[in-house]
Amino acid sequence: MSTALVIFAKAPVAGLAKTRMIPALGPQGSAGLAQQLLLHAVQQAAQVPWDALELCVSPDTTHPAFAQAQHIAQKIGKDPRQGHLSLSVQGDGDLGARMHRALVRGLSRHSAVLLMGTDAPGLNATVLQQAAQALQMHDAVFVPAHDGGYALVGLRQPVPELFEGMVWSTASVMAETRTRTHQAGLRWCELAPVHDMDEPTDLHHLPPDWPNRSHLLQAVPSP
């Protein structure tokens, strides 16, 4: 079964990426964290033998930040350890519309597509491999997030109802997704939940060996 992985990310630009971290880390520190998370996601993804690996970024080519995203993608793509990495843009619409469009595009070329964000460092190569294997036996796979959303979705066919009219960035996203997945008659699998790095206190859940972890935590209140 031909399987592709799409990595969804914002360009790691000050004032654009990880804005909820700015009160603790400042604009530059938040952008630096976003870049670390992006590179970590690509490095983990590249350890799995995908049929295609794509970095899908926002904003689009008309925004000055796109040039930085393009530079980062090109730098990653030149690293032979990362394998071939293609670059695309998310385009217009809310998060659901952009995710659905990327999945449809991938499913026009491959039997299965997984889409992951870059906010959850727990999405390591082992978890990604498990998700790909689960998708061989299920119509859909999810990696829930502890905040009530999900960090990864994988599908074997387009399912627009999973993305249309969803209220994103809320604690009910995964619960609503379960309801919609059941209503669509899909067989799905959920892996163990992971932590998203959205709020300053989330930084306590960074892996112990994360670069600059102790420095980042100095600016964060205890949980």
Low-confidence ranges of the chain (pLDDT < 70): 59-83, 222-223
The pLDDT of residue 80 is 43
107: helix, strand or coil: helix
Q: Where are the domains of the chain?
A: 3-210
pLDDT of 151: 98
Q: Note the pLDDT of residue 89.
A: 86
Quick one: pLDDT at residue 81? 47
Q: What is the pLDDT of residues 52-102, one digit of tens each?
A: 999 898 865 555 555 666 666 566 555 544 457 888 889 889 999 999 999
Fold classified for 3-210: Spore Coat Polysaccharide Biosynthesis Protein SpsA; Chain A (3.90.550)
What pLDDT is recorded for position 66? 59
Q: Locate all alpha helices (DSSP H) within the chain, ordered by sequence.
A: 22-45, 64-77, 95-107, 125-135, 173-183, 213-217
Q: DSSP states of 51-78 as a string?
A: SEEEEEEES-TTSHHHHHHHHHHHHHHT
Residue % of the chain over a pLDDT of 90: 71
